[in-house]
Amino acid sequence: MKRNVLIIGGGPAGIEASRKIRDFGHTPILIEKESHLGGHLAKWHKLFPDGESTEELLNSLTSDMDGIKWFTDTDIVSINKLKHLYVAICSNGISIQADALLFTTGFSLFPAEKKEEYGYGIYNHVITNADLEDFFNTGEDPRIKDPKVIGFVHCVGSRDEKAGNRQCSKVCCATAIKQACEMKELYPDATVYCFYMDLRMFGRKYEDLYLNAQRKYGILFVRGRVSEVSENIEGRLVVKAEDTLIGKPIRVTMDLLVLMAGMSPNDENREIASMTGVHLGEDGFFMPRDMLFRTTESHSKGIFFAGAATGPKTIPETLNEARAAAMAIDHYFKQEV
């Protein structure tokens, strides 16, 4: 018997899970609140560690969507449980009966203006990692004007109790270094600094990326968290941090500062949790059954997770988890019979 699976969130996890669920012989229905599929990935330009094009990855993900019903610009209004079925009412008026739910709701990008001391939205030359990717895509950003000195601030809204996010966002270190190298290619004469607390280059080839940034691009690494940014009379940015390895406060004048906004739990997680009874962790991300073995299952029967909905993840981790969730759902259906 064919079963319906409602997948909420059309980012890489949602797309990949839909495809695999279809391959298992079930009917995936994919809901995306924005007007296009791809989530945050669609806004990116290139990916670490090798600089693979996002567009190509998305193309191959969405090349084969036959048999998947998907709706964009659609929000979930309510979810109710009826015996073994979930009934979801969507903002476009349709209601969906599903035998299983898969939350691929991903993350929200940390709003960098919350770290007011970094001056995002206040000073003219402070941008975020997402803004920079947009610049790589479009080639346009009035805030980037032939910068001579560029700084990258790691951990903006990550590992920061004061920002309400204790967790490490996992991908920003590698992203910062990737972006630093890209900027250096665009502006070979620029001096590029990375301000980090700890460099977490944990994946295969990430260390190569770091090595390349040092050797090939001459990126300068400062171990110290930026404490405050001000603007001088010429409109340049004055960045203050402590160089913790030298053990002295430093002050650098810059033309562009890129804030590596981290991954916050999706703003809607709380609402989803109250609608469906799935557990939220203290950090605001969804809590799977356990953190080792059943990472795609929730505490509620018939509800599953994949991707950054349960914490920051890289693209390959997200895609693998999407496939794992599809398998877990198929397994769940087989047990149900």
Q: Give the residues lining the site for another protein (CB under 8 A).
A: 114, 116-117, 119, 122-123, 155, 159-164, 197-198, 223-231, 240-244, 247-250
- Tell me whether residue 56 or residue 198 sits nearer to another protein (CB atom): 198
Minimum distance from residue 117 beta carbon to another protein (Å): 4
Minimum CB separation from another protein for residue 123, in Å? 8
Task: Give me the least distance between CB of 267 and another protein, in Å please.
Answer: 9
8 Å CB contact between 102 and 17: yes
The answer to whether 185 touches 145, Cβ cutoff 8 Å, is: no
> What gap in Å lies between CA 250 and CA 238, rounded to an integer?
10
Shortest separation between residue 113's beta carbon and another protein, angstroms: 9
Q: Which is nearer to another protein, 258 or 329 (CB)?
A: 258
Instruction: Report yes or no: 297 and 2 within 8 Å, Cβ to Cβ.
Output: no
Kind plus residue range of the DSSP H or E element containing 269: helix 269-276
**What contacts 317, CB < 8 A, 6 or more positions away?**
none
Instruction: Pick the closer one to another protein by CB: 48 or 110.
Output: 110
Instruction: Name which of 66 and 282 has its Cβ closer to another protein.
Output: 282
Nearer to another protein, 71 or 123 (CB): 123
Q: Which is nearer to another protein, 36 or 270 (CB)?
A: 270
DSSP, collapsed to helix, strand or coil, labels residue 272 as: helix
To another protein, the closest distance from the beta carbon of 121 in angstroms equals: 9
Environment class of 76 (CB within 10 Å of its CB; exposed 0-12, middle 13-18, buried 19+)? buried
Closest CA to 131 of 148, 116, 112, 149: 112
- Of 73 and 198, which CB lies nearer to another protein in the complex structure? 198
CA distance 221 to 205: 19
Between 43 and 223, name the residue whose CB sits nearer to another protein: 223
Task: Tokens for 268, please give them.
Answer: 């809607």
Half-sphere exposure of 247 (CA within 13 A, CB side): 0
Write the DSSP string, 97-160.
EESEEEE---EEE--GGGSGGG-TTTSTTEEEHHHHHHHHHHS--TT-SS-SEEEEEEEESSSB
Closest separation between CB of residue 322 and another protein, Å?
A: 30
CB of 307 to another protein, least distance (A): 25
Give the nearest distance from C-beta 116 to another protein in angstroms: 6
Distance CA 18, CA 69 (A): 9
CA distance 318 to 70: 20
23/243 with CB nearer another protein? 243
CB of 74 to another protein, least distance (A): 24
Question: Distance (Å, rounded) from C-alpha 6 to C-alpha 18?
Answer: 9
